Amino acid sequence: MSEHDVPKRLGKSVGLLMTLVFMIVLVGSDEMVLSPILWQISNAFRVSVSQAALAVSVYGLALALGAPVLSRIGDRKGAGAALWLGMAGFVGASALCACSTSFLEFLLARFLSGLAAGLTVPSAYALAGASVSDEFRGQALGWVVSGWSWSFILGVPLATWVDRALGWRWMFMAFGIAAILLMLFMAWSLKRSHLFLTNRAAAQVRARSATADFRRLTGVAALLIATFGNMFGFYGMYALFGVAWHLHALSSHVQSGTLLLVYGIGFATSIVTGRWADRWGRQRTLVISLVVLTAVILVLPYSMNEIGLISISLFAWGAFQSFTVTLLTASLSEYSEVHRHQIMGWYSFATNMAVTLGPAVMGWLDVRAGYATVAMICAAITAAASGSAWLASKTAPHN
């Protein structure tokens, strides 16, 4: 059986999709957990907190640069093999984090963790897209995308609990053990769903047309630009929300972290909204979703005076952000089966470059012009992303 002979319903792929969800939860938790424990890393290796923060930067750099390069492995060896290799690298890097005896070793371990994530995340998206027929692809990717939300809601709190109980070294060991269990379950799920690890032979007939079709390449480029714009606007606003809330609501007893949980709950709705993407048409719905996000970003700074209004705004922000991410991944996934992994690798690159640049640029602007101005610029960039998505809709593949 080839990847063209995929299950026509989600039922046969539920085990595999849930495994992919938990892999994203694990990778997301590993990515986000370092910030709360920076002071422990600083004390353990006798470096300043600012020096310890280099571990965050090194991880992000490895993920951003590694994703488009390492994703070629998926195109050559198949989604399952690439994902297996990525998770194996994650196990090794987590063990090295736990056993590091110097800060240099720890930085190397975080760099390797970033490379492993750069291979794991695109492979998880690609395998989710390949594990179901086109009519269920949005729903499948909606499940996988929700893993980022659950890493924020459950993964990081559980990891910090292990850290408080046993220490940060055992926390990284727990990450490695969880990865091994997920690798074993993935092998069982792949066997149960009868999906081969390799996809190259099955897509050989389409290889030439997929690479030579200029319209498809144009559509991929337009969607990658839309991805960068969406993520730049999101992270530019998200990174500064805590500071803005503190300044606008000094008398409120509600902490920004509590409010951001409302955003996380909204983001988790991708499990449901992925179905809408399949029913309504992904490319057209993507444009509408980005337009709605533009409006939400614009009103966000002005909704901080009322706790109910800011809660509704944050929930809507999370819901439409997850809907947009689901639509982007599903739309990119359908452009080329033989190069699906490489396309998703560039998707991860665009995302992580926005993660790096968005907070830095908008943080500089926030100091000089305020959060409302930041919202205007981020909304304009998101609106431009909707225009790029509209251009991509003109080149959408018809399978």
State residue 255's pLDDT score. Answer: 63
Q: Given a cut of 50, is residue 202 above it in pLDDT?
A: no
**Average pLDDT, stretch 122-130?**
83
Size (the chain), residues: 399
Structure tokens at 327: 């639509």
Tell me the range of 43-47, 150-154, 200-204, 268-272 where mean pLDDT is highest.
Answer: 43-47
Residue predicted with more confidence, 225 or 198 = 225
Q: What is the DSSP string of 232-291?
A: HHHHHHHHHHHHHHHHH-TT----HHHHHHHHHHHHTTHHHHHHHHHHH-HHHHHHHHHH
Q: Which residue has the tokens 């850290």?
A: 163
State how far Cα 160 lies from the chain centre: 21
Give the least confident one: 207-211, 238-242, 285-289, 375-379.
Answer: 207-211
Q: Given a cut of 90, is residue 139 above it in pLDDT?
A: no
- Residue partners of 104: CB distance under 8 A and separation at least 6: none
Tell me the range of 80-84, 127-131, 243-247 where mean pLDDT is highest.
Answer: 80-84
State residue 99's pLDDT score. Answer: 94
Task: Give the confidence band of 239 by pLDDT, cuts at 50, 70, 90.
Answer: confident
**Average pLDDT, stretch 165-175?**
92
What distance separates the 2 farthest-apart alpha carbons in the chain? Answer: 65
Task: Give the confidence band of 197 by pLDDT, cuts at 50, 70, 90.
Answer: very low
Strand segments (E) across 248-398: none
Check if the beta carbon of residue 172 is closer than 8 Å to that of residue 97: yes
pTM: 0.77
Give the least confident one: 30-44, 49-63, 70-84, 374-388.
Answer: 70-84
Check if the beta carbon of residue 79 is closer than 8 Å to that of residue 88: no
- Residue partners of 229: CB distance under 8 A and separation at least 6: 354, 381, 382, 384, 385, 388
Q: Given a cut of 90, is residue 113 above it in pLDDT?
A: yes
**Average pLDDT, stretch 14-35?**
86
Q: Given a cut of 60, is residue 189 above it in pLDDT?
A: yes
Tell me the range of 86-90, 138-142, 242-246, 365-369 where mean pLDDT is highest.
Answer: 86-90
State how far Cα 133 lies from the chain centre: 22
State residue 256's pLDDT score. Answer: 58
**Average pLDDT, stretch 286-307?**
92
Angle at 250 between CA 246 and CA 254, to 5 degrees: 75
Structure tokens at 55: 């571990």
**Average pLDDT, stretch 336-362?**
82
State residue 205's pLDDT score. Answer: 42
Q: Given a cut of 70, is residue 214 above it in pLDDT?
A: no
The mean predicted confidence, pLDDT, of the chain is 81
Q: Given a cut of 50, is residue 2 above it in pLDDT?
A: no
Residue predicted with more confidence, 18 or 340 = 18
* Letter string b/e over residues 290-316, b meaning 16 or more CB atoms within 10 A of that residue's CB: bbbbbebbbebbebbeeeeebbebbbb
Q: Given a cut of 50, is residue 109 above it in pLDDT?
A: yes
